[in-house]
Chains A and B, each alone.
Chain A
Amino acid sequence: MVAELAWLFILLPLLSFLLCVFVTRPYPRLSGYVTIAAVGATFLLALVAFWSVGNLPPDRTLESSVQWVVIGGSVLKVGLIIDSLTAVMLLVVTLISFLIQIYSQGYMAGDPGYSRYYAFMSLFTASMLGLVLANNLVLVFIFWELVGLCSYLLIGFWYQRPAAAAAAKKAFLVTRLGDLGFLSALLVAFNTTGNLDIRHLIDLAETKQLAGATLTAVGLGLFSGAVGKSAQFPLHVWLPDAMEGPTPVSALIHAATMVAAGVYLVGRTLPLFLAAPDVLLVIAVIGGLTAFMAATMGLVMTDIKRVLAYSTISQLGYMMMGLGVGGLVAGIFHLLNHAFFKALLFLAAGSIIHSVGTQDLREMGGLRRFMPVTFLTMLAGAFSLAGLPPFSGFWSKDEILLEALRFGGVGQALYILGLLTAFLTAFYTFRMVFLAFGGHYRGPAVTGDHGHDHGHGAPHESPPVMTVPLIVLAVPSVLSGFLTFGGFFGPFGEFLISRLSWHPHYEPGLDLTTMVLSAAVSILGILGAYAVYGAGWVSPEVFSSTFRSVHTLLVNRYYMDHLYNWIARRIVLGIAGLLDWVDRYGVDGVVNAIAELAVMAAGSLRLLQRGWVQFYALMVTLGIILLVAVFGFFGDIIAFLRG
């Protein structure tokens, strides 16, 4: 494959975006087909790209650069790179995007914004592919902001709902806070090296030319961008609210691809972090902390999409932790598996929401009889998320835990935290499954409208256009874990490290103790959920009343939102109010005072204009006399002053 073809990945969906906006807008179904065709074509391209990379000699990559800006002697080059990491990301993004575009035809059917939806989805796919292809941090940043924009537009897709508009704004602002760090990192790096080519930066870091405080600053900045985008603590608060968007959007953007961009960025620039161990430690600790905190919050959510949202945050934390202990393969492998099973879980949740017209788990129940396909596919995703062997999540979670154990020191604490999180994950996942599918249907027979215009009778299975993508996604959710043993181009880990521009440390191997432990906590979690929510041996109220304070803390999401609201209201608005006052009365006051003075002076002076021509003549005469007097008496002084 010619490297220049890489540009097609961006151009095809971009073309479909333009078509949807300018041509097919009045023909919704056509917009859908255009998008599906464009994304399908990129999927085929991704297969070609994957095959080409696999056939490259080791350590070689495909790269295509163009000159972008030429200022004097310095040339700013931007380009696309396809290496093993990109090839994997391309496959994940295009396949999931393709399936979700198909699924959306069912989920979004009849929505007045159908064309707009597909236009945004096309734009998102183009931006996301650009993000994973870019070989230059400037280009990465541009696409990074573009996916952020698409996320904003799609969270607020139903902008008539105040909650959706607020959530979109929140997501935009919170991620922008992280991007501030990203931008600063770019500025620092450019100031130091004059070149933001990723390979160049990695070379500098590996040869210690980029080191010390500068490297730490760059690393922390990049990670801060990743924290915002990947919803890590303390900027995780936007992701649960982002569930206001349509469910396929949550599946594509806020579960499988965009939120993984932070993890991808850290993975792509991992050598920079490896050269700055302090930053690496920060990543590992933040990742582990996020994984645990989000999992605890997932325990008490009653909205099915929010359970999945906290689960996404938690799993992203897992990936970050994996990268933070230096495990590129482990982190990216989990990204891959998670993308499949979380997209599947979201789409299944969307299928349920589409069917019963509510997102509240308390109003579901007994759905396994009404929606067998959704039930079975969601079960596959849930087993994978819970990390039950041999489902895919089990293998990558194990690799992350193993990397943490090998890391030593803090890694051992993270290992235990990871196991604890795995237990919580299994528990809340199956709490969700049992609440939705087990027992008897608790919802009203007919519910009100929920963005769909068809009335709701009894729950029903979704149309094939929605269930087929579920079935297709269930296959990798079950099987993708086995890629660790072998795929088309050897085991996943070896393929991933073989065609990069640098050489990650990778030590394949499985640790029996870890496998047994993680399988045990997973089964324990599932059994625990069964005991409470499946069989009803213990009432959930027992827990919430015994640990009332903990329960309150979790339901209020650790009061993080309260804290941020307080900061925004008291501190930010306070400073803004002060500045507003200074601007209004200080700066504007001076300007207005000068203007007022001029007006007043003019008001007094104009009274001299009496309209008497002799008065003017008198003034002229007096003026001349004055001038003559001045030059007569002070002529010498003036001559002296003028030299």
Chain B
Amino acid sequence: MAITLNHYLVLSAALFTIGLYGALAKRNAVTILMCLELMFNAANIAFVALTRAVAPQVLTGQVFALFVITVAAAEVAVGLAIVLAVYRQRRTIDATEIDLLKW
């Protein structure tokens, strides 16, 4: 059985959903960041797969994926810095306990 575009897209959707669930449901801030990475990569798979299937002669999707990886790296750097700063202040990285900005 050949691997078709649909397989890639289903994989992408599955990864994205798992990532989304983790980002919304997990309490640990680091885990949430990891889940975000998962969602980025789900998008990357969709980009590359679609370019290959729809317009193999151009590299738009691949280039996009490279940019996403770069941005994700920067995002993680910022995200981890925030988590670190919050931890130093509050001695916790539980997302449900970081609720100072309410009402």
Q: Which residues in A have some Cβ–Cβ distance to B below 8 Å? A: 606-607, 609-614, 617-618, 621
Q: How far is the CA of A609 from the CA of B101 in the complex (A)?
A: 8
Asked if B24 and A614 sit within 8 Å, CB to CB, the answer is yes
Q: How far is the CA of A617 from the CA of B25 in the complex (A)?
A: 10
Contact of A614 among B23, B100, B101, B102 (CB under 8 A): B23
Asked if B98 and A613 sit within 8 Å, CB to CB, the answer is yes
Contact of B95 among A606, A609, A613 (CB under 8 A): A613
Contacts of B100 in A (CB 8 A): 611
Q: How far is the CA of A609 from the CA of B24 in the complex (A)?
A: 16
Contacts of B24 in A (CB 8 A): 614, 617-618, 621
List the 9 closest pairs (A to B, CB-CB), nearest first. A611-B102, A611-B99, A611-B101, A610-B102, A618-B24, A609-B103, A609-B102, A614-B95, A614-B24
Least Cβ–Cβ distance between B42 and chain A, in angstroms: 14
What 1/0 flags go to B15-34 for Cβ under 8 Å of A? 00000100111000000100
Contact of B20 among A611, A612, A613, A621 (CB under 8 A): A621
* Beta-carbon nearest neighbor of A612 in chain B: B99
B57 within 8 A of A: no
Contact of B103 among A607, A612, A614, A617 (CB under 8 A): A607
Least Cβ–Cβ distance between B72 and chain A, in angstroms: 17
What 1/0 flags go to B76-103 for Cβ under 8 Å of A? 0000000000000000000110111111
* Beta-carbon nearest neighbor of B98 in chain A: A613
Interface SS, A side:
helix
Question: Could you write out 24 A-B pairs with CB less than 8 Å apart?
Answer: A606-B103, A607-B103, A609-B102, A610-B99, A610-B102, A611-B98, A611-B99, A611-B101, A611-B103, A612-B95, A612-B96, A612-B99, A613-B95, A613-B98, A614-B23, A614-B24, A614-B25, A614-B32, A614-B95, A614-B96, A617-B23, A618-B24, A621-B20, A621-B24
* Beta-carbon nearest neighbor of A613 in chain B: B95
Q: A613-B95, A614-B32, A617-B24 are known contacts; what are 10 more A-B pairs with Cβ within 8 Å?
A: A606-B103, A607-B103, A609-B103, A612-B95, A612-B102, A613-B98, A614-B95, A617-B23, A618-B24, A621-B20
Q: How far is the CA of A618 from the CA of B25 in the complex (A)?
A: 9
Contacts of A613 in B (CB 8 A): 95, 98
Contacts of B20 in A (CB 8 A): 621
Question: In the complex, which of the residues B20, B23, B100, B102 has the most CB atoms of chain A within 10 Å of its own CB atom?
Answer: B102
Q: How far is the CA of A4 from the CA of B98 in the complex (A)?
A: 86
Least Cβ–Cβ distance between B30 and chain A, in angstroms: 14
Least Cβ–Cβ distance between B101 and chain A, in angstroms: 5
What 1/0 flags go to B32-49 for Cβ under 8 Å of A? 100000000000000000
Residues of B in contact, count (CB < 8 Å): 13
Contacts of A614 in B (CB 8 A): 23-25, 32, 95-96
Q: How far is the CA of A265 from the CA of B64 in the complex (A)?
A: 90
Contacts of B101 in A (CB 8 A): 609, 611
* Beta-carbon nearest neighbor of B97 in chain A: A612
Q: How far is the CA of A617 from the CA of B99 in the complex (A)?
A: 14
* Beta-carbon nearest neighbor of A607 in chain B: B103
Contacts of B25 in A (CB 8 A): 614
Q: How far is the CA of A612 from the CA of B102 in the complex (A)?
A: 8
Q: How far is the CA of A610 from the CA of B95 in the complex (A)?
A: 12
Q: How far is the CA of A606 from the CA of B103 in the complex (A)?
A: 6
Q: How far is the CA of A612 from the CA of B27 in the complex (A)?
A: 11
Contacts of A606 in B (CB 8 A): 103
* Beta-carbon nearest neighbor of B23 in chain A: A617
Q: How far is the CA of A611 from the CA of B103 in the complex (A)?
A: 8
Least Cβ–Cβ distance between A616 and chain B, in angstroms: 10
Least Cβ–Cβ distance between A601 and chain B, in angstroms: 15
Contacts of A612 in B (CB 8 A): 95-96, 99, 102
Contacts of A609 in B (CB 8 A): 101-103
Q: How far is the CA of A5 from the CA of B96 in the complex (A)?
A: 90
Least Cβ–Cβ distance between A612 and chain B, in angstroms: 6
Contacts of A607 in B (CB 8 A): 103
Q: How far is the CA of A621 from the CA of B21 in the complex (A)?
A: 11
Q: How far is the CA of A611 from the CA of B97 in the complex (A)?
A: 9
* Beta-carbon nearest neighbor of A618 in chain B: B24
* Beta-carbon nearest neighbor of B25 in chain A: A614
Least Cβ–Cβ distance between B49 and chain A, in angstroms: 21
Least Cβ–Cβ distance between A598 and chain B, in angstroms: 17
Question: In the complex, which of the residues A607, A609, A614 has the most CB atoms of chain B within 10 Å of its own CB atom?
Answer: A614
Q: How far is the CA of A618 from the CA of B32 in the complex (A)?
A: 13
Q: How far is the CA of A24 from the CA of B17 in the complex (A)?
A: 90
Q: How far is the CA of A260 from the CA of B23 in the complex (A)?
A: 92
Least Cβ–Cβ distance between B103 and chain A, in angstroms: 5
Q: How far is the CA of A607 from the CA of B102 in the complex (A)?
A: 8
Least Cβ–Cβ distance between A602 and chain B, in angstroms: 11
Q: How far is the CA of A337 from the CA of B41 in the complex (A)?
A: 110
Least Cβ–Cβ distance between B76 and chain A, in angstroms: 17
Contacts of B102 in A (CB 8 A): 609-612
Contacts of B95 in A (CB 8 A): 612-614
Least Cβ–Cβ distance between B24 and chain A, in angstroms: 5
* Beta-carbon nearest neighbor of B26 in chain A: A614
Q: How far is the CA of A614 from the CA of B20 in the complex (A)?
A: 11
Q: How far is the CA of A49 from the CA of B94 in the complex (A)?
A: 100
Q: How far is the CA of A613 from the CA of B102 in the complex (A)?
A: 10
Contacts of A611 in B (CB 8 A): 98-103
Q: How far is the CA of A612 from the CA of B97 in the complex (A)?
A: 8
Q: How far is the CA of A618 from the CA of B20 in the complex (A)?
A: 9
Least Cβ–Cβ distance between B33 and chain A, in angstroms: 12
